[in-house]
Structure 1
Amino acid sequence: MTTTPHGPDPTMEAIGRAVVEGRTGSIPSARRKLLNLWSEIGVTGDPLHRCSLAHYLADLYEDPAQALAWDVRALDAADAVTEQRAHEHHTDLHIAGFYPSLHLNLADDYRRLGSFEAATEHIHAAEEHAHHLPRDAYGASLRIALDEVAEAVSRRDTTKRPSAPGPTT
């Protein structure tokens, strides 16, 4: 896979650095960096930047209501990403492949908030888009997470899944 056919993208690189920082335990610093980038990008900035940043920023919040706000922004931005823009970032990238994860995150947020009907709607949306997932470890992990969230919804369980991304309490 070609990763950057049109040269480096400083904003995506900065998002990536903050994500790595957050995943290694520096949650407050990573969150601050992403929030600063969000201010620079703006609500009308590049939708790929907004989608990526909001998607990762949501994972840095333990509070499902705060995560939900960022996951909604990520989905809204994804709807504005063109296939051409996705290809500019990665030649093999397709925006359709974003939707299973975006809807999964929304389903999990709504579930954790006890809004099981909304969670079910997003589980169904994620399932409708699941055929766009790659047949690799990443795709398998999302399919497993989708099953976990659906099962938790059926049990009316609002506890955080052990496999969910983000800070641990």
Structure 2
Amino acid sequence: MVERQEQVAPDAMMTRIGQAVMLHHGGDREEARDRLLKLWTEIGEGGTPLHRCTLAHYMADTQDDPVAELAWDLRALSAADELSDGRPAEHSTEHHEELAVRAFYPSLHLNLAADYAKLGRHDAARSHLRLARGALATRGEDGHGDAVRAALVRLEARLDEAGPAAGETPGPPRQRP
């Protein structure tokens, strides 16, 4: 008996998002930002959480203003939370999307930690570093995971050097993993 494997059609929106990201990685930040914004308008608030999460995650990287970057990263996390809200996925496509978004969590929290650090909100940054580290615990060893782990260590070291921001209380010394 021949076992049939489910064929997944290419996702045109993810391809278009990927093309805009390639522009950004190629150095054309403004064009990437313009294309991502047009795609965001096309997707709308009712678009699939995977599309909104992915697009907002990359849109944040194209921002010049740290407050705008934080806003986009928060949109990405909100969309991710919609898809992985603890309910079982009903369709195979939805299940695939939920798995894809779960893989984003370490990066989402790392980016939020970096955003908060830029804004001098070190307590919030440390909180997201802990969440990123926790999300990485469920991820296997791979190149992306290793890159996120290294970025976590670097950001944590910068926060340790900076100490608490004005108005924040120093916490107990943290143990290194």
Q: TM-score, length-normalised on structure 2?
A: 0.79
Quote the residue 1:41 is aligned against: 43
Q: Distance in 2 between matches of 1:132 and 1:21?
A: 31
Q: Distance in 2 between matches of 1:104 and 1:65?
A: 16
Aligned twin of 2:145: 139
Cα distance in 2 for residues equivalent to 1:80 and 1:89: 11
Of 79-88 and 116-125, more deviation after overlay is shown by 79-88
Q: CA deviation at 1:137?
A: 1.4
1:24 and 2:26 are equivalent in the alignment? yes
Distance apart, 1:129 and its partner CA: 1.0
Matches within 5 A, 1:81-120: 81-82=83-84, 84-85=92-93, 87-88=95-96, 93-120=99-126
1:4-36 residue CA offsets vs partner (Å, 9 max, x unmatched): 942011111100000001100111111000000
The letter of the residue matching 1:20 is M
Aligned residues: 152
Aligned letter for 2:156? A
| Partners of 2:103 and 2:96 in 1: CA distance | 15
- Structure 1's 5 and 155: CA in aligned 2 closer, same or farther, altered over 3 A? farther
User: How many Å apart are 1:60 and its aligned residue?
Assistant: 0.9
Shift of 1:85: 4.2
Secondary structure of the equivalent of 2:82?
coil
Q: Deviations over 1:94-124 (max 9, x none)?
A: 4322211100000000001100011011011
Call closer, same or farther: CA 1:5–1:71 in 2, change over 3 Å. Answer: farther
SS in 1 for 2:52: helix
Residues in 1 aligned to 2:15 and 2:100: alpha-carbon distance in whole angstroms: 19
Unaligned runs of 5+ in 2: 1-5, 164-177
Measure, in 2, the Cα distance between the counterparts of 1:79 and 1:5.
27
Q: CA–CA distance in 2 between the matches of 1:63 and 1:144?
A: 25
Equivalent residue number for residue 161 of structure 1: none
> Hey, what's the Cα distance between the residues in 2 that align with 1:35 and 1:152?
32
Give the aligned residue type for 1:113. Answer: L
* Inter-CA distance 50–94: structure 2 relative to 1 (3 Å threshold): closer
Taking the aligned partners of 1:55 and 1:110, their CA distance within structure 2 comes to: 15
Q: Is the 8 A contact 1:5 1:88 kept in 2?
A: no
Counterpart residue type for residue 102 of structure 2: A
Structure 1 stretches lacking a partner, 5+ long: 158-169
> Relative CO higher for 1 or 2, CA cutoff 8 Å, sep ≥ 6?
1
